[in-house]
Every structure is written in structure tokens, then in C-alpha cells.
Amino acid sequence: MSSTTAPPRGDGDPAPASPAPAGIWRRQLAHYPENGPRSIYLGITVLATVILYYELYVGGSVATQIIRDFDFSFTGYVFVSVIGNLVGAFASLFAGLADRWGRANLVVYGLLATGLLTLVGLPHAQDKTLFTVLFALLSFVEGVVLVATPALIRDFSPQVGRGVAMGFWTLGPVLGSLVVTMVSSNTLDSHPDWRFQFYVCGIAGLVVFVIAFVGLRELSPALRDQLMVSMRDRALVEARAAGIDPEAALRGHWRQMLRFDVIGSAFAISVFLLLYYILVGFTVVYFATVYGYSEARANSLANWYWIANAIALVVTGVLTDRFRVRKPFMILGALIGLIGSVLFALSATEQQSYHTIAFYFILSATGGGMAYVAWMASFTETVERHNPAATATGLAIWGWILRLVVTVSLAIFTLVVPATSILVDEAEPIQEMQAEHPEEFAIITGIDQDLVEAVQADPTDADSLATLLGQVATIQGADADEVEGIAGVAEEVVTAQAIEPDTLATLQDDPTDGAAIGAALQQIQDGLGVDSGTALQRLVALGEADQDALQSAAQYGADLQAAPTVFTEDQLAYLAENGPDVAAAADDNPGQWQTWWWVCIAGQVVFLPFVFVMAGRWSPRRAREDEQAHEEAVERELAALGRQR
């Protein structure tokens, strides 16, 4: 924000007025504020934006719990967001229409509504229908604030300081996301109930409401409806204000905003932000279903994205003001973000370590932040190019398009990642089986069920038994030599199974025991259906076999028989019914998410050509020449006004 002071005032110039005490509704300033109060108003607006997005996004940190508690399907839960974004889209248009009620009032009383919804409404919803309705109400307020807060930022920030101001405003959604992940990653272990996250968030929201109620102000329409390039324009803006009719300035404002540079660039940034919006709502779901991360670990990883994004927003805002250009930063940021996004997309099917993903997040978030803050400053300047008085109208169109794009993309998203729906809806009971008895679960899910059926149908099938025991051995960590040894004694294992345990134990103690030998021969004949000669050959082979391999085979066979007994019949039935679908979904899920990440990357590519239609220079030198020419024109107009007095 510029620290440049206004020109000295003459005796006839209006003195800077301190904000008059405001009632619960009247918050307008008659004069443009000094830098101190102006910074306070900007700070409160940013704080309000942070807390509102914190309230909107807090559910994403505990999405899996909410899905489970309300018995949502994953698709059903996604459509909660679809409905919320659709409501938010039209709320943005409503904010443009309701702007004359007071931008500050929309923010202040929006904070009260969302604070109560978050603290009292959503955590105490009795069913998923009520939860959906309350979330839609929350999204309605967010759609209004999406227009009101950047409009306030624009009002209190001349174009020369617009980059920094918008850098702090765009921190709102990012810091809101960061607060969500920071709080959840540090409290979920000690407070596992998802409602705790909403209680903390709701209390914070009401505290910020009190701050905004006491401290937030806005410019009068006559002041804010003018173009202000730098703080040097303040005296001229105030001098002009007396002669401005706000209603006349807004005549035809919707038609003035229905231009390609406004609508096209709003659409471009909307598709550019697809990756951001999916990460906001479904980071936990993605890392839980693709990487097996806990909620706390997934939120901890997301912190890298939000912190990098936040830093990039502020730093880039400063740089765009320093060099007086926005477009080069949009292009550079988009290209950096593309590199990070492509690497992240590839990691879906080639799983990377926690810190490698964090590095990809840093690249993607840094580039995305650079492009977005530069775009936001440029978009308000593009709107001002057509009519400064219609800023809220232009932002309303942007908010409407943004929310519609997100609504449509979320609906398509569920069609692109159907495997996630299966994993979220059906995998939990199976995951519980795995957590309770990991070794037994690995056996019953890792072996070939066709082989199990073959051995059960024909216990003398040595080939099937050898393969089956080899699978069990491999699952339990046996090396290739051990597996080969087990296969080599498969015939002897079949023979041993035909002999009663007591007889086999006697022979192991005394291989010359005649009675035991006779009993064993008879049992082999009866059990395997062979003649006495063959029975004798098999018994001799059993005695000469590798005893270590036989013992290993016996142990793996015992493990195979014991594995199903640790689960209930209902658990085994559920596994039999849903296990194949869950296993197939687990295989398909990474590839489906990767497809969606490519869609998001395509949106980032689409963004690039629309940079060229927006307001602003490419060259810092030309931008400074424009600024100098404007300052000279301001001085001439001020001089002319002085001569008229």
C-alpha cells in the first residue's frame, strides 16, 4: 500500500475528517482516509476474508468423518459442495445488486451469520439434509463476501498500491485454508470429534465479527466511484465527489461489464483455480485413498501448499507495484505453477515421498499465487477501464462465473473419479479388518481364491497346494529359495496331510515304530486312494524329504487355515461381497485422480491467452510513463479547480 502523501491543502480544501462514530448500519466515510486508518480498514477486510474462508473450508479437514457420521456417499458429499457453489454463484450477483446497502454492512453482518452457522448450526445438524441446507446458507454468505471484500480492498487502494492490497486480500482464501490445516493437524489427535473443528472456527468467526462491527468503514459512493491511480489523487477525488451523482454513475453498469475482457478473463481465472478448489475440499480424501495418509498427515502436507501460496501472494503483490506491471507476473506464475502441477499429477500413479510431494506443492502454489494476485489487481483495473463506479458489478460477474465453473467442475469430478466413491463408501469396514489383524488380512486377500477352491475340492492336488503355500510364504516375507523349497515338497505335504497327527508325531519320534508305520500306510491308502506299494513309496519319500522345507510348509499351511478364523462371518461375507470392488477401485483410483489433475492443468493452460486481453502494460517503462502523464493531468486539474475558487 502506497505511503505517498497527498499534496498540501489550501485554506479552501476540505480537511481530512476522522471517521464519525457509526451506528449499526451507517459506516460511510465522507473523506478519503489517511494511511493509518486506511490500513486498519484494509486489515479488517483481510481478516474478515480469512475467517470467512476458514469457516467455508473447515469441513474439508474432517471430510471423511462427516461422510461417515451422516452416512453420505462420497458423491453425495461432493454434491453438498456443488449445491453450495451454485447458491454462492447467485449470491455473488445478489451482492452486486445489494451493493448500495453498504459493502461494509454485507461483510459485518455476513460474519455474524457465518459465525453462528459454524458454531451452532452445522455441528448440531441432525441429518445430512439439514447439514446440506446449512452449508448452502454458509455458501450464500461467502458468495456475497466474495464480491464485497475485494470491492472494499479496491476502494481503499489506489492502482499504484493495488498489487500489495490484492496480495493481502488473496491471502484470505489461502490463509483460511492454512488455518484449517494448521488447526486440524495439531488438534485432531487430541480432539478427534469433527465438531471440535467447527466450534473453534465458529468462536473465531464471532470474535472477528465484533472487530469488524466496531472498526470497519467504507467510502461514500461519490468517493469510491472514481478512478484513483495514486494517493496524490486524493485531493482531486474529494474535490470531484461533491459533483458526482452515484446513481447516474451506475447507469448501464451491467451492460458496461458484459465485455469480453471482463467475462473472458473471469472465466480464465476460474478454470485456472480448479486445482486449488479441489485441494481445498478433497486434499484429505485424495491422500487417504491414494497414499493411505491419516487426516492429520494429509492436512500437515497441505500446509506446505498454503504457506508457499501465501508467501507468493504477498511478495508478488509488492513486485507488481514496484515494477508497475501485472501481465508478466501472470505469465511467469502460470508457467511455474504448470511445472509443479504436472509433477504432482505424475505422482498420482508413481507415488512419491511426503517431502517430494511437498516440493511439488511449493512449486505449484508459488506459481499459482503469483498468477492469481497479479490477475486480481489487473482485473479490478480492467473493470475500472470501463467504469470505476461499477467495480462491485464487475466483481459480481467474476464471482458468479467462478462459482458456476466450480459447480460444473465438481459435478464432472464425481464422474472422473468413481473409484474414490467406492473406496470412501465401502472400504472402511475392510480397512478395519486390516487394522485389527494385518497378517491374517494379508493372507486372505493376497492368495488366489481359485487355488483355495481347487485345493478344497481336491486335497491331493499337489500343484495347486504348492502354489497356494508359496503365495502364503511370499506374503509373510519368504524369499525365493524358501518358496522353491516348499514347492519341492508339495507331494510330501499331501502325504503328510493324509496321516493322522498322532501317527505322524509317533513316526517323527521313532521312524522304526512298526505299528505307526502300518497305521501310516493304511491311512495313506485310504486318504489318497492308492495301493499299498504306492503308499509305501510315498511314506519313504516323506521320510527322505527336506525336513526344514516340510516344517515351513506345515507352518504356512497352519497360518492359511487359521487366517479366516480371526474374523467374524459377517466380516468375511462383507469382504467377499465388496472386497473385489474395493481392490479394483484401489488399483484404478490413482489413475482416475491423475486424469482429473490433467483437467486442472488444462485449465491453467487456457488461462494464458486471456492475459493478453486485460488492462495494463507489459513494459515497466511504459507503465511509469503512463503514471507520470496521469500525475501531470491531476496537477493541471487541481490547478484549474484552484483558479475557480
Q: Give me the percent of the chain exceeding a pLDDT of 90.
A: 29
The predicted pLDDT at position 99 comes to 58
Whether 345 shows a pLDDT value over 70: the answer reads yes
By the 8 A CB rule, do 456 and 561 touch? Answer: no
What lies within 8 Å, CB to CB, of 383 at 6+ separation is 257, 262, 390, 391, 393, 394, 395
Question: At which residue does the C-alpha cell 483410483 appear?
Answer: 589
How far apart, in whole angstroms, are the C-alpha atoms of residue 328 and residue 619?
9
Q: Which three cell numbers stand for residue 482?
A: 524358501
Confidence tier at 232 by pLDDT (50, 70, 90): low
By the 8 A CB rule, do 528 and 538 touch? Answer: yes
Confidence tier at 16 by pLDDT (50, 70, 90): very low
Q: Where are the alpha helices (DSSP H) in 529-568?
A: 532-544, 547-562
Confidence tier at 640 by pLDDT (50, 70, 90): low
Q: For residue 291, which phi and psi values (nearest 5 degrees)?
A: -110, -10
The predicted pLDDT at position 342 comes to 96
The larger pLDDT score, comparing residue 234 to residue 120, is at 120
By the 8 A CB rule, do 67 and 131 touch? Answer: no
- DSSP class per residue in 289-313: III---HHHHHHHHHHHHHHHHHHH
What lies within 8 Å, CB to CB, of 438 at 6+ separation is none
By the 8 A CB rule, do 589 and 346 touch? Answer: no
* pLDDT tens-place string over residues 440-497: 888 888 888 888 888 888 888 888 888 888 888 888 888 888 888 888 888 888 888 8
Run of H or E including 29: strand 28-29
* pLDDT tens-place string over residues 517-560: 889 889 888 888 888 888 888 888 888 888 888 888 888 888 88
How far apart, in whole angstroms, are the C-alpha atoms of residue 459 and residue 468?
12
Under DSSP, the state recorded for 287 is I
Rounded to the nearest 10 degrees, what angle do helices 35-57 and 162-187 cross at? Answer: 40
Which of 145, 183, 186 minimizes the C-alpha distance to 44?
A: 145
Which of 353, 262, 361 minimizes the C-alpha distance to 308?
A: 361
Which of these ranges, 188-192, 242-246, 594-598, has the smallest mean pLDDT? 242-246
Whether 243 shows a pLDDT value over 70: the answer reads no
Whether 245 shows a pLDDT value over 80: the answer reads no
By the 8 A CB rule, do 493 and 554 touch? Answer: yes
Asked whether the CA dihedral 485, 547, 541, 522 is positive or negative, the reply is: negative
Average pLDDT (406-435) is 87
Average pLDDT of the chain is 84
How far apart, in whole angstroms, are the C-alpha atoms of residue 271 and residue 401?
10
Q: For residue 219, which phi and psi values (nearest 5 degrees)?
A: -75, 150
Which of these ranges, 15-24, 56-65, 636-645, has the smallest mean pLDDT? 15-24
Long-range CB pairs of 523-527 (<8 Å, 24+ gap) are: 523/498, 523/499, 524/495, 524/498, 524/499, 526/498, 527/497, 527/498, 527/499
How far apart, in whole angstroms, are the C-alpha atoms of residue 426 and residue 73?
9
Q: How many CB atoms lie within 10 A of CB 326?
A: 30
Whether 159 shows a pLDDT value over 90: the answer reads no
Average pLDDT (314-339) is 93
Q: What is the pTM of this model?
A: 0.73
Question: At which residue does the C-alpha cell 502364503 appear?
Answer: 472
Whether 222 shows a pLDDT value over 60: the answer reads yes
Whether 85 shows a pLDDT value over 90: the answer reads no
The predicted pLDDT at position 485 comes to 87
Average pLDDT (605-621) is 93
Q: Which domains does the chain have, with CATH numbers?
A: 28-430+581-644 (1.20.1250.20), 431-580 (no CATH)
The larger pLDDT score, comparing residue 28 to residue 199, is at 199
Please provide the distance, in angstroms rounded to a whole number, between the alpha carbons at the two ends of the chain: 32
The predicted pLDDT at position 51 comes to 93
The predicted pLDDT at position 13 comes to 41
- DSSP class per residue in 168-212: HHHHHHHHHHHHHHHHHHHHTTT--SHHHHHHHHHHHHHHHHHHH
How far apart, in whole angstroms, are the C-alpha atoms of residue 317 and residue 329?
10
What lies within 8 Å, CB to CB, of 51 at 6+ separation is 111, 176, 204, 205, 208
Whether 98 shows a pLDDT value over 80: the answer reads no
- Which residues are 219's β-sheet partners? 29
Under DSSP, the state recorded for 159 is G
By the 8 A CB rule, do 458 and 465 touch? Answer: no
- DSSP class per residue in 252-270: THHHHH-SHHHHHHHHHHH
Asked whether the CA dihedral 389, 391, 394, 397 is positive or negative, the reply is: negative
How far apart, in whole angstroms, are the C-alpha atoms of residue 271 and residue 355?
28
CA angle 61, 63, 68 (to 5 degrees): 145
What lies within 8 Å, CB to CB, of 522 at 6+ separation is 535
The predicted pLDDT at position 226 comes to 59
Which of 310, 359, 366 minimizes the C-alpha distance to 338?
A: 366
